[in-house]
A = this chain, B = another copy of it.
Amino acid sequence: MLSQKMLALGKKSSAIREIFEYSKKRKAEIGEDKVFDFSLGNPSIPAPKCVEDAIKDLLTTCDSIDLHGYTSAQGDMETRRTIANNIGERFGFAADANLIYMTCGAAASLTITLKAIIEEGDEVILLAPYFPEYKVFAENAGAKVKVVACTGEQFSLDLEALGKAVNKNTRAIIVNSPNNPTGAVLSEDDIKGLAELLNKKQAETGRAVTILADEPYRELAYDGVFVPYIPNYYDNTIVCYSYSKSLSIPGERIGYISVSPRAENAADTFAAVCGAGRSMGYVCAPRLLQRVAKECDGAAPDLTAYDKNRKLLYNSLTEMGYSAVYPDGAFYLFVKALEPNAAEFCERAKKYELLLVPSDSFGVEGYVRIAYCVSYEQIERSLPAFKKLIDEYKEN
């Protein structure tokens, strides 16, 4: 009497969620400051001031009916125009406001886009390590998921493996840079190589392969590292954006889908996006937040705190002897587990009250993800625990 698929999905809580629940319990037992919870990617720095200013201003200047009323399903046109203009100014790319669809955040951007472009039997390529929900979203759209591992210490694109994986059934590839869980940023050469490969494959098979550029961490890049804007390099691109991390408002659910005007059948693709949103009950993105997005698009949080955390954690752990991907973006450190089985490593870390996420659910083995969007003090306090953990392994 129930959808068995949905029941299974609802019962199987994610690995991250389970750690979160354990963390709550453990903190109640031994005290908040004794537990070093590095599991959740919940921003720890406040929203930029423009967010609060925008909300206050809207409450004062807009009348209630206009402020809280429906927008068209695609979203408020002024917001979409602002976003398109900003893309033009920031990335030198001529985005089209008519091909921008406002969404309830990155997850909605992805599920709607996948549902719009996937036909039964199509394949979607994920690049491991990947955000675990990609698999849920792609399969929900009826796609078969194919995983291609990234390569090397910095998890770069493995173009050779990708070349073998792409075939006539391939419909899309999800690219996430800056990356969750590694913090790696794909270089311009990486993107150029990928574009060249996909263009060649498209010519061979006669079939469009779309890059879904999942970009919630675009604004979280350190030391001025260059984050290439993929539509500048590859025509069949759909950008899935979210303001969750850039504006530190993950609970408010606001983002957008931007179909490249250079994509094959761009207008029809956009129509299918509208159809997919409609079929899933996405009437419009939250109105007040659409207006906040208009005022704050392109803003970034004060990254100083994340950057300090990043350096402290990376430097301290590597000094102790851990090996980690140097993160150019996002707020995650991807660290090699000290034994092949990441889950067992995490269990041993728990003894020292360190709560880490094993890499298995990200599609690779032998690593842990440490979310450093926590307080600097938590990292400082946790360092002796990390030291004891590695010492334990050295002794055995």
Write the residues of chain A forming the contact surface with B, with a CB cutoff of 8 angstroms. Answer: 1-11, 40, 42-47, 51-52, 55-56, 59, 63-65, 68-71, 104-105, 107-112, 115-119, 133, 136-137, 140-141, 171, 207-208, 248-253, 264-265, 268-276, 278-289
B64 near A6 (CB under 8 angstroms)?
no
What are the residues of chain B within 8 A of A252 when measuring CB–CB? 68, 286-288
B59 near A117 (CB under 8 angstroms)?
no
Interface centre among A9, A46, A274 (most CB of B within 10 A): A9
B286 near A111 (CB under 8 angstroms)?
no
Secondary structure of the A side of the interface? helix
Contact of A70 among B63, B250, B268, B286 (CB under 8 A): B250
Write the chain B residue with the least CB distance to A285: B253
Write the chain B residue with the least CB distance to A69: B251
A295 to B246, CA, bound (A): 28
Instruction: List 24 contacting pairs A-B, 8 Å CB cutoff, sorted by A.
Output: A1-B171, A1-B264, A1-B265, A2-B269, A3-B115, A3-B272, A6-B279, A7-B271, A7-B272, A8-B275, A9-B274, A9-B275, A10-B116, A10-B276, A43-B69, A47-B64, A69-B251, A107-B282, A108-B281, A111-B279, A140-B280, A251-B286, A252-B286, A253-B285
A4 near B70 (CB under 8 angstroms)?
no
A118 to B312, CA, bound (A): 50
The 5 closest A-B pairs by CB, nearest first: A251-B287, A10-B275, A9-B275, A111-B281, A107-B281
Give how many copies assemble into the complex. 2
B111 near A7 (CB under 8 angstroms)?
no
Known A-B contacts A2-B272, A110-B281; A286 and B253 likewise in contact (beta carbons under 8 Å): yes
A265 near B2 (CB under 8 angstroms)?
yes
Write the chain B residue with the least CB distance to A43: B65
B118 near A271 (CB under 8 angstroms)?
no
Write the chain B residue with the least CB distance to A112: B281
What are the residues of chain B within 8 A of A288 when measuring CB–CB? 251-252, 288
A10 near B272 (CB under 8 angstroms)?
yes
A217 to chain B, nearest CB (A): 16
B250 near A69 (CB under 8 angstroms)?
yes
A211 to B70, CA, bound (A): 28
A251 near B282 (CB under 8 angstroms)?
no
